[in-house]
Amino acid sequence: MTTRRLERGGRLLNRARPLGMRFDAYYVRAFEGDTLASAILANGHRLLGRSFKYHRPRSVVASGPEEPNALLGVGEGGRFTPNVRATTEPARDRLVCRSQNAWPSLDTDVGIVNDWMAKGLPAGFYYKTFLSPRPFWKHVFEPFIRRAAGLGEAPSEPDADTYETTYAFCDTLVVGGGIAGLAAAKDAADRGDRVILVEQNAHWGGRAPVDGDVVEGQAAEDWVRDALRTLDASENVTCIPSCQAAGVYDHGYVLLNERLDGDGPRERLWRVRAGRVVVATGALERPLSFAGNDVPGVMLASAVRDYVVNWGVSPGERTVIVTNNDDAYRTALTLLNAGLEVRAILDARPKADGALSRRVAERGVDIQMGRGVAKVLGGKTVTGVATCAQSGEGEVLQTIECDAVAMSGGWSPVVHLWSHCGGKLQWDAGRAMFVPDADRPPLGADGTGFVTTTGAASGDLTLAGLAVDVAQHATAPILPVWQMPEGAPHALRAKSFLDFQNDVKVSDVRLAAQEGFESVEHAKRYTTLGMATDQGKLSNINGLAILSDALGQPIPQTGTTTFRPPWTPVTLGALAGEAAGELFQPLRRTPMHERHEQAGAFWEPVGRWRRPYCFPQGKESHADAVAREIAATRNGVGMLDASTLGKLRVSGPDAGRFVDMLYTNMMSNLGVGRCRYGLMCDENGFLIDDGVVARLSDDVWLCHTTTGGAERIHGWMEDWLQTEWFDWQVHVVDLTEQFAQIAVVGPKARTVLERLGGMDVSRDTLPFMRWSAGTLAGIPVRVFRISFSGELSYEIAVPANHGLELWDAIAAAGADLGITPYGTEALHVMRAEKGFVMIGDETDGTIIPQDLGLDWAISKKKDDFLGKRGQQRTHMTDPDRWKLVGLRTLDGSVLPDGAYALDEGRNENGQRKVQGRVTSTYRSPTLGHGIAMGLVRRGPDRMGQVLFFTGSRGKTIDAEIVSPVFYDPDGEKQDA
């Protein structure tokens, strides 16, 4: 047994609440307050994982989210989570967890073969090989690499948990609930700020209670408890434990990620807008780089005392401490006080006589100055260390038998949140750390800094700079030690690990420098240092120091890699929040939606709307339903829900002038009571929308847009009115959702409306392309005689709250006439039979009205309209442009969507030349054969010519160029 539970101690434990868990094949006894790491160690298991590349055995190295090794798969089924950090996951009764990235077992992993081949697998080896034979990359090498890569298993079932999001605003956000953070929160609260204080752990206090600090004369633990009480009592303060600040974004936006207990959502995402952010995130201890520093049992010195004090766990019976600074001596005292042996302290400094080291010396511990670890003995677990002179080349001076090594290479302030929005760092050579440069903070919207740091995050490890009084110990300075020993030969450097998860060693970084990867970013990417799940929290500084040494340049010149959010990984489900399944996006429905659902509609998404595509009856196929709907409409009467089309009311003294600019047509001379089909183009001259415009009164025009175009065209109108012609008096209102719209279509349409009664819909009173207001079935309506199908057609606008009522009334009135609801597909086919274009089908963002034979809609009398100048450019007036025609296959079949008409030869790039393409294609039930519209070079001049269109599997289909108006070319029916 190397690691075990101590009989006493464990300030976070509730020993009255024992738990049982399973880790791989082992039963693990734990207590409430344990983490998975503390519990597993307490049960005597040191091996928790295997490293990424070499599959070397790995154990816990740290005690917090910075942990690179102890990643486990936790839970089962819909609650299985891979890559869980054992150091931060709370123990729960009956929890099941398993190790990752080892086969067949953690103990005996075949992947260890990689370690045996490590000499041949240095950093970047894969760039230099796997080059031949060429097909082997795809079929042999890559699949093997992919299978060996990755850490945890992918979940196989949908997430059984839910996630919540919320918003908050505050004046001061304090990140970190240690002494510095609590003090800062109290200050801000006293000033009257709205304060949010977050702490990533479930417990408060940071390092101070573990290290036994005295704050304002009180034991740290007590001071923390009192501070919390004060804060909790303040109305303007919100304290959130188990909550990390994942990222700081521009203009004071901070993302918080809170872990929740209980039966509700698993996590909560906070979107916070803070006036200022105080970063009190402390500092992380650095490992030392010596050979074998990755062997299970080697741990950060501060983590050793965390396990002893917080969780009553002994990380080792006989520990050797290796350090370059005074802080590690605290670990000696903690171990001794717990009744554990400290075999020796190897202090790399030539001499040091701080208060802490004197206290340890007084306890009789063997302190060796100027010494380091040449090599750790043991493979799967520490069995001893070979010592050497730090200033030498690794010649072994002594072998010390031990079962654990506590290492401390110094401390690095946690500067991530400071850096996310551009806060700069400076290198403090005396303390061997990067600290925030307070003169170059991240700047907010007003150009001043909006983030500050305090406490250890500022580099103030002893909290001497705080307003609260923290008892100080006189300490000897740190000696930067980036390689142990200083003159280590390659063999030792090749076993001195920097990045424990990605297996990046000192020798790898030196190799990167040798090969010219001199920028810190190049070195990172080449070696993958800092790219693992811990994102270099324990490795970045050590790595860049080695790089600096290899390049012979000072550390500040090397600099750091970019700090990016998140601080620690955030569950993707938490980012997705509640917007999943039916709530994924808002759904827009018409007032008649339910009725269509009841009628068996097959739905189609059109923007955020749902429209019925067709209404299959019984076992009808969609094609049969569409054919039936068309036949019923053309021969009798059909009804369509047209509510989704945009309706924009444009009014005011300058409304006429405005619509004249928006449309290619002249609209200001449209008579009251009349309707006109209009085209809108952008300033490039390209068609962006079409629709019928109705003149409602002298200064009111009602503009219809395509479905989903309402907001876009309304925005377009407002853009011009507010930013260009802002002295024109025009008012635009989007009425799309105020009115339902129902089209009653077919030879018997008039009969149906006459049965409803209320207004005169005769041909004389309401001819084609006019509108009229009145009532139908007692409901106020506006009726437009417009037709997209080519039949006698009435489009009826009715206030939305009467939409369903009118729909039902129409259905009832037409029941004995066989009135048939039809959907978008029937609509599309019917308009194609009439040669009517559709935005999005005949247009693709590069089509001008002249291409579609719509020259008649372009006013020659207007000097200016949006798009006019654009259409005058050379490419737009090129006679070779492809223009709209109808296409009819010789064999009556249906041309495929998007088919191209072949031309002779190939272009300069070896591509086949083409002379046209299909834009809409359908089977016409009315005509009994396939019909299509397309764009063909000089198409209208080539009536009767046969073209060869691309089919499937290299076949071609012959089609003749015809008029696009296949049905009722004289337009008698719509004029009925």
Partner 1 sequence: MRRHSVFAIAREAMRDHTGWPRAWARVEPRDRYDVVIVGAGGHGLATAYYLGKNHGITDVAVVEKGWLGGGNTGRNTTIIRSNYLQDPSAAIYEKARSLYETLSQDLNYNVMFSPRGVLMLAQTHHEVRGYQRTAHANGLQGVRTEWIGPGRVKELCPIMNIEGPRYPVLGGLWQSRGGTARHDAVAWGYARACSDMGMHILQSTEVTGIETGPGGVQAVNTTRGRIACGKLGLVAAGHSSVLADMAGFRLPLESVPLQALVSEPIKPCMDIVVMANTVHGYLSQSDKGEMVIGGGTDGYAGYTQRGSFHHVEETVRALVETFPILSRLKMLRQWGGIVDVTGDRSPILSKTPVDGVFINCGWGTGGFKAIPGSGFGFAELMATGASPLCAAFGLDRFREGRFIDESVAAGVAH
Partner 2 sequence: MLSLHCPHCDLTVEETELSPGGEAHLTRHGPGSDDDSFEEYLFLRPNLKGPTLERWRHAYGCGKWFIAARDTATMQVFGTYPAQRGDCPPEIRDRMEGAT
Q: Which residues between 256 and 315 bind partner 2 (CB under 8 A)?
A: 273
Q: Of partner 1, partner 2, none, which one sits near residue 598, judging by CB under 5 to 8 A according to partner kind?
A: none
List CB contacts of 279: < 8 A, sequence separation 6 or more: 175, 176, 414, 415, 417, 418, 436, 451, 452, 453, 454, 457
Q: Provide φ and ψ at 228, rounded to 5°.
A: -65, -40
String of b and e for 809-847 (b: at least 16 CB within 10 Å)? bbbebbeebebbbbbbbbbbbbbbbbbbbbbbbbbeeeb
Kindly tell me which of 125 and 725 has the beta carbon lying closer to partner 1. 125
Length of the chain: 976
DSSP assignment letter at 388: E
Kindly tell me which of 82 and 392 has the beta carbon lying closer to partner 1. 82
Q: By CB under 8 A, tell whether 393 contacts partner 1.
A: no
Closest separation between CB of residue 685 and partner 2, Å? Answer: 10
The span of 202-210, 361-369, 445-453, 582-590 binding partner 1 (CB under 8 A) equals 582-590
Query: Which string of x and - marks every residue 827-866 that binds partner 2 (by CB under 8 A)?
Result: ------------------------------------xx--
Q: By CB under 8 A, tell whether 145 contacts partner 1.
A: yes
Kindly tell me which of 275 and 971 has the beta carbon lying closer to partner 2. 275
Which pair of tokens denotes residue 343?
């075999």
Neighbours of 581 (CB within 10 A): 7
Q: Of partner 1, partner 2, none, which one sits near residue 147, judging by CB under 5 to 8 A according to partner kind?
A: partner 1
Kindly tell me which of 516 and 671 has the beta carbon lying closer to partner 1. 516
Which pair of tokens denotes residue 918?
């299909």
Asked whether 787 and 768 are in contact (CB, 8 A), the reply is: yes
Which residue from 31, 290, 497, 526 is in contact with partner 1, where contact means CB under 8 A? 526
Kindly tell me which of 170 and 373 has the beta carbon lying closer to partner 2. 170
Kindly tell me which of 592 and 732 has the beta carbon lying closer to partner 2. 732
Q: Provide φ and ψ at 398, rounded to 5°.
A: -160, 150
The alpha carbon torsion through 177, 178, 179, 184 (nearest 10 deg) reads -30
Distances (CA, A) of 116 to 69, 108, 112, 120, 150: 20, 14, 7, 9, 20
Kindly tell me which of 247 and 638 has the beta carbon lying closer to partner 1. 247
Kindly tell me which of 3 and 257 has the beta carbon lying closer to partner 1. 257
Query: Which string of x and - marks every residue 542-581 that binds partner 1 (by CB under 8 A)?
Result: --------------------x-xxx--xxxxx-xxx-xxx
Kindly tell me which of 137 and 253 has the beta carbon lying closer to partner 2. 253
Distances (CA, A) of 206 to 176, 232, 414, 854, 912: 8, 18, 13, 74, 69
Q: What is the 3-state secondary structure (H, E, C) of 878-895?
A: CCCCEEEEEEEECCCCCC
Q: Are strands 71-74 and 218-219 parallel, antiparallel or unpaired?
A: unpaired
Q: Of partner 1, partner 2, none, which one sits near residue 340, judging by CB under 5 to 8 A according to partner kind?
A: none
Q: Enumerate residues 713-772 that contact partner 2 by CB under 8 A.
A: 715, 718-719, 722-724, 726
DSSP assignment letter at 137: I
Distances (CA, A) of 355 to 330, 362, 864, 908: 11, 11, 87, 82
Neighbours of 904 (CB within 10 A): 7
Q: Of partner 1, partner 2, none, which one sits near residue 580, judging by CB under 5 to 8 A according to partner kind?
A: partner 1
Kindly tell me which of 563 and 836 has the beta carbon lying closer to partner 1. 563
Closest separation between CB of residue 601 and partner 1, Å? Answer: 15
DSSP secondary structure string for all residues of 201-249:
SSS-BTTHHHHT-EETTEEHHHHHHHHHHHHHH-TTEEEESSEEEEEEE
Q: By CB under 8 A, tell whether 165 contacts partner 2.
A: no
Closest separation between CB of residue 739 and partner 2, Å? Answer: 20
The span of 96-104, 261-269, 439-447, 505-513 binding partner 2 (CB under 8 A) equals 439-447
Closest separation between CB of residue 689 and partner 2, Å? Answer: 18
Distance from chain centroid for Cα 290: 39
The span of 205-213, 511-519, 669-677, 786-794 binding partner 1 (CB under 8 A) equals 511-519
Q: Of partner 2, partner 1, none, which one sits near residue 683, judging by CB under 5 to 8 A according to partner kind?
A: partner 2
Distance from chain centroid for Cα 635: 53
List CB contacts of 455: < 8 A, sequence separation 6 or more: 176, 178, 179, 180, 181, 280, 282, 463, 465, 466
Q: By CB under 8 A, tell whether 913 contacts partner 2.
A: no
> Measured in Å, how far apart are the chain's first and last C-alpha atoms?
97
Q: By CB under 8 A, tell whether 566 contacts partner 2.
A: no
Q: Of partner 1, partner 2, none, which one sits near residue 599, judging by CB under 5 to 8 A according to partner kind?
A: none
Q: Enumerate residues 215-254 that contact partner 2 by CB under 8 A.
A: 249-253
Which residue from 910, 928, 955, 970 is in contact with partner 1, where contact means CB under 8 A? 910
Distance from chain centroid for Cα 931: 44
Q: Enumerate residues 248-307 that contact partner 1 by CB under 8 A.
A: 249-250, 253, 255, 271
**Local structure of 790: helix, strand or coil:** coil
The span of 5-13, 77-85, 770-778, 931-939 binding partner 1 (CB under 8 A) equals 77-85
Q: By CB under 8 A, tell whether 423 contacts partner 2.
A: no
Q: Enumerate residues 430-449 that contact partner 1 by CB under 8 A.
A: none
Closest separation between CB of residue 724 and partner 2, Å? Answer: 6
Kindly tell me which of 622 and 868 has the beta carbon lying closer to partner 2. 868
Q: Of partner 2, partner 1, none, which one sits near residue 171, judging by CB under 5 to 8 A according to partner kind?
A: none
Q: Provide φ and ψ at 689, rounded to 5°.
A: -165, 160
Tell me the torsion sign for CA atoms 845, 847, 849, 852: negative
Q: Enumerate residues 718-777 that contact partner 1 by CB under 8 A.
A: none
Burial (Cβ within 10 Å: 0-12, 13-18, ≥19) of residue 554: exposed
Closest separation between CB of residue 443 and partner 2, Å? Answer: 6
Q: By CB under 8 A, tell whether 156 contacts partner 1.
A: yes
Q: Of partner 2, partner 1, none, which one sits near residue 353, judging by CB under 5 to 8 A according to partner kind?
A: none
Separation of alpha carbons 690 and 201, rounded Å? 59
Q: What is the 3-state secondary structure (H, E, C) of 175-200?
A: ECCEHHHHHHHHHHHHCCCCEEEECC
Q: Of partner 2, partner 1, none, which one sits near residue 202, judging by CB under 5 to 8 A according to partner kind?
A: none
Q: By CB under 8 A, tell whether 619 contacts partner 1.
A: no
Separation of alpha carbons 252 and 259, rounded Å? 22
Number of residues that bind partner 1 (CB under 8 A): 113
Kindly tell me which of 157 and 401 has the beta carbon lying closer to partner 1. 157
The span of 297-305, 462-470, 488-496, 765-773 binding partner 1 (CB under 8 A) equals 488-496
Q: By CB under 8 A, tell whether 69 contacts partner 1.
A: no
Query: Which string of x and - marks every residue 683-702 that binds partner 2 (by CB under 8 A)?
Result: xx------------------
The alpha carbon torsion through 228, 230, 231, 234 (nearest 10 deg) reads 150
Query: Which string of x and - marks every residue 646-685 that binds partner 2 (by CB under 8 A)?
Result: -------------------------------------xx-
Kindly tell me which of 159 and 711 has the beta carbon lying closer to partner 2. 711
Separation of alpha carbons 842 and 686, rounded Å? 12
Q: Enumerate residues 847-876 that contact partner 1 by CB under 8 A.
A: 870-871, 873-876
Chain residues binding partner 2 by CB under 8 A are 249-253, 273, 421-422, 443-447, 683-684, 715, 718-719, 722-724, 726, 863-864, 868-870, 872-873
